[in-house]
Structure 1
């Protein structure tokens, strides 16, 4: 998979935003994996203009939908153990 430099930078910024947004709930590795999986979905897309936006939406949805306890072991909605 080959990216234009601008697209690669935009994807890097997407990953950083998601890492900040999921800090304490998902690991950096989980965020990176979600971004890679979302990006793979668009590998053969010819029109690349909106790929970073679409990747961010898919990765965010995947991270929010991930089942089970998060990295910190907290329950959804801040519940106590």
Structure 2
């Protein structure tokens, strides 16, 4: 069984801690992104931009539609390449 890479983020509105699985970690045009999925929901995922590195890194949800679409298109490309192996 593949090991899950889990991070815990704090919801800025509710201050509730949420555990998320890192589905994909990718760099596009010099920007670092992660696709995160809640552990309790199989169908839902979110795109976050990673700001900074290591222990000081923060995660900003991608809300710009063009940026979101760019990240999803790259993820789809990677996923299709993996599935065709």
* TM-score, with length taken from structure 1: 0.28
Q: Quick check: which has more Rg, 1 or 2?
A: 1
The structure whose RCO (Cα within 8 Å, separation 6+) is larger is 1
Q: Which has the higher helix share?
A: 1
Q: Which has the higher strand share?
A: 2
* TM-score, with length taken from structure 2: 0.28
